[in-house]
Chains A and B, each alone.
Chain A
């Protein structure tokens, strides 16, 4: 009956795939796993409470919200938008690569941001569409959305205060490895460099296709 212990993993996978409320799925999985493994309820509550308190560090970003919120009210987004508008790029591919680099910088500064509604839709896509005379607007749209994801996913690990790095730190500590936050950031840099190089290749290929099409 050892395998029953995997029911928690199964609950997480199925629950999240069914789009059930994430917090509820995770908590139910924790209790089911503990009970199936024969842990007393009080032990599970103790483990849960200690782990949650030990990992408060993952949620310290709450302290940055008032300043960022007030700065937004006084034109933070507009100033960032002005910065993006100053990018002058000859091709769609180069524009998207510069935006990806900017997005990596934002992540490395420890700022959390969902760039699709705030930058991609209102700014980067219109600029990309303006640079290109191509009729392949669908491809350009998809590429613009992708440049945000590429910059966001890999760039955020360059900051010691971002959720991903803190999650790795907390989980590894729970498994008995007290690793350095700074080493996590150091080891993520080859990945970030690779993410930029591969994106440069893909965006150059995009430029090439757009150019071929405009010559026809």
Chain B
């Protein structure tokens, strides 16, 4: 068993504790189905490396079915009164997470192992170190620690599995060769050697998809498979890390412009009692357009000069 599998099993154990605590939370009107959801996710985490893939696939279908039936809920929030403050020392456990992450990644690199894997293992150990440090500093019980984790986890809810699900959608798109199809469509309009127009199509596609879906994370797998990889990275031999991360944030301009990203643009307007519910977007649009243009320029320039 490698270190990353140990971290996955640890995550599974934490999720299992969330499931048990949710099951026992009588203030949660959907406590049984919610607990089932977190339990299934715990099983996928702990056993994902050894289970047959089709079984994991079925469990994913089960997760989405529970969420799709609107059966993942949360209990009443503040059941416990805020505890005594311990001053600025409370930053220490939170800072331990990035510090341990970087330390473990460096240790992996120095010992000749994959630094990516090091960062992920480090995140796991960082989380564990932060838990122990926090319990010690605040003199809390371990069960309180887990229950606070359950509370935060429930606040985010089933959306937690979305990045994993979107990446899986990307894999299915790749298997179905959806990317090749989009690429062929664009190539029938834009000549394959016109780098600037292709960069423009890539960034415009990313921003537009993000605006319609309200989510740049959902747009990225489609654009990466359909435009970025077949039309920019492969033919122009572009640095994949550079091109991919710039494409992702080209989508952020779309997020700044769309009411579909309600929690960033519409909810804040309501929170601040803005008379115009699109007031935040109205303020953001010149910035979003400028940032987007800069993404086009930088992506084009970085591919051109490499």
CB within 8 A of B221: which of A5, A146, A171? A171
Report chain A residues within 8 Å CB of B153. Answer: 62, 65
Report chain A residues within 8 Å CB of B196. Answer: none
Please determine whether B172 and A184 come into contact, CB atoms closer than 8 angstroms: no
CB of A6 within 8 A of chain B? yes
A61-103 with Cβ < 8 A to chain B? 61-76, 78-79
Report chain B residues within 8 Å CB of A133. Answer: none
Residue of A nearest to B276 (CB): A138
Report chain B residues within 8 Å CB of A63. Answer: 7, 10-11, 14, 123-124, 126-128
Residue of B nearest to A112 (CB): B156
Residue of B nearest to A16 (CB): B213
Please determine whether A59 and B164 come into contact, CB atoms closer than 8 angstroms: yes
What separation, in Å, do the CA atoms of A194 and B170 have in the docked complex? 30
CB of B22 within 8 A of chain A? no
Report the minimum CB–CB distance from A59 to chain B (whole Å): 6
What separation, in Å, do the CA atoms of A167 and B215 have in the docked complex? 13
B287-305 CB mask vs A (1 if < 8 Å, else 0) is: 1001100110010000000
B58-79 CB mask vs A (1 if < 8 Å, else 0) is: 1111011001101000000000
Residue of A nearest to B172 (CB): A30
Report the minimum CB–CB distance from B206 to chain A (whole Å): 12
Q: Which of B84, B86, B245: most chain A CB closer than 10 A?
A: B245
Please determine whether B115 and A69 come into contact, CB atoms closer than 8 angstroms: no
CB of B212 within 8 A of chain A? yes
Report chain A residues within 8 Å CB of B144. Answer: 70, 73
Please determine whether B173 and A33 come into contact, CB atoms closer than 8 angstroms: yes
Please determine whether B163 and A52 come into contact, CB atoms closer than 8 angstroms: no
What separation, in Å, do the CA atoms of A42 and B68 have in the docked complex? 22
Bin chain B's interface residue count.
35 or more
Please determine whether B217 and A9 come into contact, CB atoms closer than 8 angstroms: no
Please determine whether B241 and A109 come into contact, CB atoms closer than 8 angstroms: no
B121-148 CB mask vs A (1 if < 8 Å, else 0) is: 0011011101101110010100011111
Report chain B residues within 8 Å CB of A153. Answer: 249, 252, 255-256
B96-116 with Cβ < 8 A to chain A? 96-98, 101, 105, 115-116
B219-244 with Cβ < 8 A to chain A? 220-222, 224-225, 229, 233, 239-242, 244
Residue of A nearest to B85 (CB): A75
A-B pair number, CB within 8 angstroms: 447
CB of B197 within 8 A of chain A? no
What separation, in Å, do the CA atoms of A148 and B233 have in the docked complex? 33
Residues of A within 8 A of B (CB-CB), count:
116
Please determine whether A13 and B212 come into contact, CB atoms closer than 8 angstroms: yes
CB within 8 A of A109: which of B88, B98, B175, B276? B98
Please determine whether B123 and A116 come into contact, CB atoms closer than 8 angstroms: no
Please determine whether B174 and A175 come into contact, CB atoms closer than 8 angstroms: yes
Do A57 and B120 contact each other (CB < 8 Å), given the known contacts A66-B14, A146-B284? Answer: yes
Please determine whether B171 and A161 come into contact, CB atoms closer than 8 angstroms: no
CB within 8 A of B48: which of A13, A53, A167, A183? A53
CB of B39 within 8 A of chain A? no
A26-38 CB mask vs B (1 if < 8 Å, else 0) is: 1101100110110
Residue of B nearest to A150 (CB): B287
Report chain B residues within 8 Å CB of A171. Answer: 166-167, 170, 220-221, 224-225, 244
A34-55 with Cβ < 8 A to chain B? 34, 36-37, 39, 42-53, 55
CB of B204 within 8 A of chain A? no
Please determine whether A56 and B44 come into contact, CB atoms closer than 8 angstroms: yes
CB within 8 A of B246: which of A22, A73, A182, A191? A191
Do A58 and B167 contact each other (CB < 8 Å), given the known contacts A13-B213, A74-B86? Answer: yes
Do A181 and B119 contact each other (CB < 8 Å), given the known contacts A56-B48, A187-B241? Answer: yes
Residue of A nearest to B262 (CB): A19
CB of A199 within 8 A of chain B? yes
CB within 8 A of B172: which of A33, A56, A74, A186? A33
Report the minimum CB–CB distance from A107 to chain B (whole Å): 11
Please determine whether A52 and B168 come into contact, CB atoms closer than 8 angstroms: yes
Report the minimum CB–CB distance from B90 to chain A (whole Å): 5
Do A2 and B181 contact each other (CB < 8 Å), given the known contacts A62-B11, A190-B298, A194-B291? Answer: yes
CB of A202 within 8 A of chain B? yes
Q: In the complex, given contacts A52-B164, A146-B287, what are 12 additional A-B residue pairs having Cβ atoms less than 8 angstroms apart?
A: A3-B181, A12-B222, A26-B165, A27-B64, A37-B178, A48-B56, A72-B152, A109-B95, A149-B255, A149-B265, A152-B264, A175-B225
* CB-defined A-B contacts under 8 Å, sample of 9: A2-B181, A42-B54, A47-B171, A48-B56, A48-B60, A55-B168, A145-B271, A170-B170, A180-B241
Instruction: Give 3 closest A-B pairs by Cβ, nearest first.
Output: A69-B148, A66-B149, A63-B127
